[in-house]
């Protein structure tokens, strides 16, 4: 059982974030549990190394105490994701946060085209972040511009796709596995993938399975983590 001193000296907690939780909510729950069950001070440092959207599940690395200084290092490691693209329709958010805004033909899409299209996205690519993202433009987060109905010019950025595999094709759904660099938006990959096939696509499921050598199979839920803590006597 880890002590107050252990958490202050620094720990990396592997948390399996559930669907519909923000990364901030998960960290807040862990902080509350550590303060109330172990008696850590309210100003105790804790933070996560890489945001997961509420509609994504999977590995969230949470650093405590002195290990919060390692957050930037951990964020820079390659990440692995699995998930599902829905082919033939797009949404403004590139995922299920918003409703379908356009539909497209898919009759020309077969497995050969899908696997050939994958090759276009391997290596360094230019990617435009979704308008529904937390990136700031003129001091305001992009999703705030989007929800206000404002049009914003978003610059492309370089990102790297190390591995891109198709695991299941059952149109309109495609299951995939991607290993990518920091700053990659899988939602944007979904949108661009559909466009590259002369159709449309959006993300319907996403799970982060690895960050560097850390694996979600070694992670636990925030609830189980809280239950594992011994209350302060």
Nearest to 174 by CA among 227, 98, 101, 121: 121
Among residues 155, 164, 156, 162, which one has the least CA distance to residue 190?
164
Tell me if residue 53 is catalytic: yes
User: Rounded to an integer, what distance in angstroms lies between the CA atom of residue 139 and that of residue 30?
Assistant: 29
Cβ pair 188, 127 in contact under 8 A: yes
Tokens of 194: 């559909």
Answer for the pair 55, 206: CB distance below 8 angstroms, yes or no: yes
**Contact between 49 and 204 (Cβ < 8 Å):** no
Select which of 6, 9, 16, 53 is catalytic: 53
| Angstrom distance (rounded) from CA 112 to CA 208 | 27
Residues forming a β-bridge with 59: 16
Give a three-class secondary structure readout of 70-94.
HHHHHHCCCEEEEEEEEECEECCCC
- Give the residue from 47, 192, 221, 218 showing the smallest Cα distance to 120: 192
Catalytic residues: 53
């Amino acid at each position: 059982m880890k002590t107050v001193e252990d958490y202050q000296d620094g720990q990396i907690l592997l948390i399996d974030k559930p669907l519909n939780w923000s990364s901030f909510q998960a960290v807040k729950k862990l902080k509350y549990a550590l303060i109330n069950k172990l008696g850590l001070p309210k100003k105790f440092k804790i933070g996560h190394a890489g945001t997961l959207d509420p509609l994504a599940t999977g590995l969230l690395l949470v650093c405590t105490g002195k290990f919060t200084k390692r957050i930037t290092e951990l964020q820079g490691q390659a990440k692995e994701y699995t998930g599902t693209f829905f082919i033939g329709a797009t949404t403004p958010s590139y995922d299920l946060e918003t409703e379908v805004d356009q539909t497209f033909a898919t009759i020309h899409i077969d497995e050969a085209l899908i696997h050939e299209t994958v090759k276009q996205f391997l290596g360094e690519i230019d990617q435009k972040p979704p308008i529904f993202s937390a990136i700031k433009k003129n001091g305001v987060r992009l999703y705030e511009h989007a929800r206000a109905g404002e049009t914003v010019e978003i610059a492309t950025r370089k990102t790297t796709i190390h591995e891109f595999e198709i695991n299941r094709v059952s149109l309109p759904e495609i299951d995939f596995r991607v290993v990518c660099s920091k700053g990659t938006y899988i939602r944007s990959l979904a949108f661009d993938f559909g466009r590259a096939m002369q159709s449309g696509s959006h993300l319907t499921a996403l799970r982060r399975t690895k960050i560097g050598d850390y694996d979600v199979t070694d992670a636990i839920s925030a609830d189980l983590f809280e239950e594992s803590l011994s209350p302060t006597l």
